[in-house]
Amino acid sequence: MATLVSTTLDAIPQIRTALRATFAGGVTRPIQWRQNQLYQLARMAHDERDAICDALQKDLGKPKTEVLAAEVGVVIKRALKSAEKLPQWAKPEHPEVPARQKLWKPTLYKAPKGTVLIISPWNYPMILSFQPLIGAIAAGCTAVLKPSELVPTFSQLLADIVPKYLDPNAFRVVNGYVPETTKLLDLQWDHIFYTGNGKVARIIASAAAKHLTPMTLELGGKSPVIIDSTCDIDLAAKRILWGKCNNAGQASLIHCQDLFKCRTGLIGVSFWQICVSPDYVLVQREKQDELVKAFEKHYNAFFPEGALDSPMFGSIVSDLHHKRLTSLLTRTKGEVVLHGRVDPARRRMEPTIVKDVADGDSLLEEELFGPILPIVPVDSLKHAIDFVNARSHPLVLYAFSENESVKQQLVKETQSGNIVFNDTFQQLAVDDLPFGGVGESGYGSQVMKYTYEAFSYLRSSIDMPKEAEPELAKRYLPRSEEAVKALTASVHLPIPRSSL
């Protein structure tokens, strides 16, 4: 891997100060300027696509097609679409108000929050760096982007190419490890957008709380799959396996082996965070063997020669992570029914299916973050729902069913950031749906307009004309009995009786 050149510690506060000056000077205010920066971001993704693919091949062994489809192309499309939609998003709104208040010109302005910090992960480093940045640019913010040190080739590439395309007075890349991240967190920001693990999120949130800094946290969790007996088992297996094989099962996965030094002291952190990769499957007991056979069928179709040497299947991010995955497999009490080959020297691991996994098994302890898929047999839909609800709320709940009443039951009786029926992963392709968590899986939303809204706030306004003075007369002292009656009228509003 390439050597990452860290930003000097002394430079980090200076960068923040310079970005604040740019924001205060109104450079980012014009809509046309923001659109131009979004066009430049799209142009960078297009023109530098070969360098980006090469960097992610070196860092992660990512197939070029996957990078172009899931990262480069998405950044280009969403940057261009955001530029197109921006005038509509940024247009002041005039809410519906009572007739007597219309003269006051009630207005909602969409105001940028200011200078923001974006901390992005390694697994999909391009889209998860630039998707938040697209929103920050659109909102009119200045921003520091801190990419992951675990993809040094890519992160160094960003430091080289971002200033060539985006205004360096408004957008900067800060690279580094623990000291650099700590220095960033010591500073005050107007918003922090963090994709990562709940443990580290607590550290970052504590640092942000000292400055009352708002945050967006994308934290993931174990994403379950519930398979109902009414679904097409063969098709479900195909779609689940496809979702699990994305990025070698490390889909939207964040990994870090760091010591973050905060004011509370040194905190050792070694974590992985999964977002949307299917983590475990709940299926009715009598359907388990049918599901296993379907997984075997589609694995052989996806990888006729196996996935170990396939250029279409990525590598595990680190030796430590690879050892952790093999350790989980040695400790499971389930039955390994599709045992992928392993090559520790190259950090390779083929997809592995484990059936008859029970509560308390090693594979259910925490997020898996790799190409291992446990199958948990259940006796009923209620059993599956209770199993999911006994754990932290996931970022996404997948369910395969053709029964509409079952779908509605899952919507009503479970909690997750997203709920997806009859597919995996594909929800990320819908530009007009917000993506975010609930509870332990995070808070706040992103994608297109929702990312724009994360980096802006609603600034309420009225403009009281002289002509409103007769209406306002009753507020002044001394008040007549008629004025008091008018001011307290709401106290006497009729309240409907409950129908329960």
Q: Which of 66, 180, 218, 453 is catalytic?
A: 218
Place of tokens 């594979």: 363
141 is catalytic: no
Q: How many CA atoms lie within 13 A of 244 on its CB side?
A: 31
Bond prior to 351 in cis (omega within 30° of 0): no
pLDDT for the residue 343: 87
DSSP state at residue 334: S
CA 275 to CA 441: how far, in whole Å?
A: 8
Mean of pLDDT over the chain = 91
CA 133 to CA 455: how far, in whole Å?
A: 9
Q: pLDDT (tens digit, 9 = 90+) per residue, 167-226?
A: 999 999 999 999 999 999 999 999 999 998 888 899 999 999 999 999 999 987 799 999
pLDDT at residue 385 is higher than 60: yes
Compute CA distances 444 → 114, 191, 452, 455, whole Å: 18, 12, 12, 11
10-219+449-458, CATH topology level: Aldehyde Dehydrogenase; Chain A, domain 1 (3.40.605)
pLDDT at residue 334 is higher than 90: yes
CATH class of 224-435: alpha beta
pLDDT for the residue 123: 84
Domain ranges of the chain: 10-219+449-458, 224-435
pLDDT for the residue 419: 97
Tally DSSP H helices, then E strands, for the chain: 17, 21
- The pTM of this model reads 0.90
pLDDT for the residue 252: 41
Compute CA distances 262 → 139, 187, 192, 466, whole Å: 30, 11, 16, 54
Q: pLDDT (tens digit, 9 = 90+) per residue, 36-69?
A: 999 999 999 999 999 999 999 999 888 899 899 9
On whether the CB atoms of residues 75 and 127 are closer than 8 A, the answer is yes
pLDDT for the residue 188: 98
CA 136 to CA 383: how far, in whole Å?
A: 43
pLDDT for the residue 258: 36
Q: 3-class DSSP state for residue 335?
A: strand
Residues 312, 318, 323, 327, CA torsion sign: negative
Q: pLDDT (tens digit, 9 = 90+) per residue, 120-153?
A: 998 889 999 999 999 999 999 999 999 999 899 9
CA 98 to CA 498: how far, in whole Å?
A: 27
Burial class (CB within 10 angstroms; exposed 0-12, middle 13-18, buried 19+) of 269: middle
What is the band of 1 on the pLDDT scale with cuts at 50, 70, 90? low
On whether the CB atoms of residues 215 and 222 are closer than 8 A, the answer is no
Q: What is the CA radius of gyration of the chain?
A: 26
Q: Which of 48, 149, 275, 453 is catalytic?
A: 275
pLDDT for the residue 450: 97
Q: pLDDT (tens digit, 9 = 90+) per residue, 247-298?
A: 554 544 333 333 333 333 333 222 223 468 899 999 999 999 999 999 999 9
Q: How many CA atoms lie within 13 A of 65 on its CB side?
A: 4
Q: 3-class DSSP state for residue 269?
A: strand
245 is catalytic: no
Q: pLDDT (tens digit, 9 = 90+) per residue, 15-40?
A: 999 999 999 999 999 999 999 999 99
